[in-house]
A and B are shown apart, each in its own frame.
Chain A
Amino acid sequence: GESVGLHLPTLSVQEGDNSIINCAYSNSASDYFIWYKQESGKGPQFIIDIRSNMDKRQGQRVTVLLNKTVKHLSLQIAATQPGDSAVYFCAENPPSGSARQLTFGSGTQLTVLP
């Protein structure tokens, strides 16, 4: 079936280094993708989104790259800080359905080392 999944369940990076979190999706019809950050005991928090007609989108310290050829999404975090430690989920918004609910991937735990 269609799914959104992540390549790695955990990622540890040194403070100040760049982080790259990857995501594979299988629904080629999905037209909108979002990265969410979830801190322990909290709800998912929007980070950045990208539409399928784009390859790259930049935010503050974050960049999302979309490769539709291989159905791959990545989140790059520049100069990773301790506050970036969290679980990161990619989510896709399939075009079918009236309410366009999100389908979440499994999540990657990012740990920032001092």
Chain B
Amino acid sequence: EPEVTQTPSHQVTQMGQEVILRCVPISNHLYFYWYRQILGQKVEFLVSFYNNEISEKSEIFDDQFSVERPDGSNFTLKIRSTKLEDSAMYFCASRTSTVGTGELFFGEGSRLTVL
């Protein structure tokens, strides 16, 4: 069964450092997303990406965040200068289409710990 894969599974970094989280969405999917989940809280939308550009972003997704699809398979989330409050699980997700309905497939997540 196709799946969304994410690396690394866990990253520990010092405050102020840059972090890149990587995702390989399902191959025939067209829409890509990043969500985050602070420990014990709900899953929060960060950004959606389609046709090589950001479609929508939340207020969480400030100038410290950026996304990229550098090649045909990877989808990355970069945090330029990490803060303590960036510590969370970051989930990548993808779906085939936004026409009508469509299941959003999530990866297993990357746990970011900022010290």
Contact = CB atoms under 8 A, between A and B. Distances in A.
A102 to B, nearest CB: 6
B43 A89 contact: yes
A43 B44 contact: no
B96 to A, nearest CB: 12
Interface residues of A, number: 26
A98 interface: yes
Given A34-B103, A99-B31, A42 B98 contact: no
B18 interface: no
A42 B108 contact: yes
Contact of B106 (A43, A93, A106): A43
Nearest to A45: B106
Given A43-B91, A43-B107, A99-B55, A93 B42 contact: no
B33 A46 contact: no
Given A43-B91, A43-B109, A49-B103, A104 B56 contact: no
A30 to B, nearest CB: 12
A101 B109 contact: no
B48 A101 contact: yes
Interface string A30-62: 001010101001111110010100000000000
Given A42-B108, A98-B55, A98-B98, A104 B42 contact: yes
Given A43-B108, A104-B45, 17 more contacts: A34-B103, A34-B104, A41-B109, A43-B91, A43-B93, A44-B106, A51-B101, A97-B56, A98-B50, A98-B55, A98-B98, A99-B31, A99-B50, A100-B98, A101-B45, A102-B45, A105-B42
Interface of A: 32, 34, 36, 38, 41-46, 49, 51, 89, 91, 93, 97-107
